[in-house]
Structure 1
Amino acid sequence: MRIKTIGAAAAAVTTTALVGGAATGSNSQSLWYRRLRKPPYQPPSSVFPIVWPLLYTDIALVSARALDDSRTAGDDSPRKALAAALSINLLLNASWSWIFFSRRRLGLAAVTAAALTASSADLTRRATAASGRSALSLTPYPAWCAFATALSTHIWWLNRRR
């Protein structure tokens, strides 16, 4: 893995975490959020600061390796396609927090979570095509996003008439 690639991937993922975290911040403890009806399978708030850093680290490492592995002589299109897929994924990732916590648009947040899930699955597919089985370590990311989609959708459903 090239240091330049891992540095760029780490910077992009860190930026995503900071932008999403800025929207979440104290909003996750706000009166509005506490008053939302939530399903019984809602994880405790202490889970999120553990899960997300692990996922972000995995995204950066797997993506950097896949970007380097997708280099081919004379054809940079696979690498560019993977970089575009990663960029779209990180944009969706950061957007969810802003849509849910800052804009309080629960239905749109559920749709964004679904798009993030599809994007995460596509990113995992592309990384696996570039790097082989080692990229399958990214699989928990779309799985977590699918769970987040179910959770977001359920929260929207429970609070849709408010």
Structure 2
Amino acid sequence: MWAYTVGFTVLPHVGGFLGWFINRKETPVWYEKLKKPSWCPPRRMFPVAWTVLYTGMGYASYLIWNDLGGCSSKAIIPLGLYGAQLALNWAWPPFFFGARNLKMALIDILCLDSLAIGTVCSWYRINKVAALLMVPYLGWLAMATCLTIRIWKDNPEQKTGKSE
């Protein structure tokens, strides 16, 4: 059973790591040039935060999967919502850092917010601990959404994507 626990817990890290790995060279130069609000967290805080958040949400997804008896018909909506929001989570860095398309990154994160909230709501009746493990993620998403909106608004020359 431990293999499932580890697998579910590690899964969110896979896309997060790939997003970082693919964009790691361009990110510092381009990102530092963007106008950002004073409340923007320092860059070094992001990997720490995402490690904690991905671990919590991954373990929470394992709890839901386990409580619903695996990939049963009862698991389709709760785990489907989770998978969809995870896919949008993984899509954000390529939009923002890869394509430098702030508008698509904004659309992505707004859809991600809705799916993440839906995930937590669907999980709450199944396993309250799993739902509560997602609360820090929702908080971070709220900050990240506000940050994405501000960066999009404050960097109009960047709104159409890469331009160099």
Q: TM-score, normalised by structure 2?
A: 0.86
Q: Does 1:135 align with 2:131?
A: yes
Amino acid at match of 1:5: Y
Deviation at 1:78, TM superposition (A): 2.0
CA distance in 1 between counterparts of 2:79 and 2:128 reads 17
Farther-moved stretch of structure 1 (144-153 vs 110-119):
110-119
Deviation at 1:134, TM superposition (A): 5.1
Superposed CA RMSD in Å reads 2.0
1:76-115 paired onto structure 2 within 5 Å:
76-115=72-111
CA 1:11 to 1:43, structure 2 compared with 1: closer, same or farther past 3 Å?
closer
Q: TM-score, normalised by structure 1?
A: 0.87
Q: Deviations over 1:12-65 (max 9, x none)?
A: 2132222222244133202x2221111111111111011000000001111100
Identity of aligned residues (%): 25
Contact preservation (8 Å) 1:96, 1:112: yes
Structure 2 unaligned segments of length 5 or more: list them: 159-164
CA 1:105 to 1:134, structure 2 compared with 1: closer, same or farther past 3 Å?
closer
Deviation at 1:133, TM superposition (A): 4.3
CA 1:4 to 1:110, structure 2 compared with 1: closer, same or farther past 3 Å?
same
Farther-moved stretch of structure 1 (13-22 vs 145-154):
13-22
Q: 2:46 aligns with which of 45, 48, 52?
A: 48
Contact preservation (8 Å) 2:63, 2:130: no
Count of aligned positions = 158
Deviation at 1:11, TM superposition (A): 4.2
CA distance in 1 between counterparts of 2:111 and 2:34 reads 23
CA distance in 1 between counterparts of 2:106 and 2:22 reads 16
Aligned to 1:13: 12
Deviation at 1:143, TM superposition (A): 1.4
Structure 1 unaligned segments of length 5 or more: list them: none
CA distance in 1 between counterparts of 2:150 and 2:76 reads 36
Contact preservation (8 Å) 2:61, 2:130: no
Deviation at 1:9, TM superposition (A): 1.4
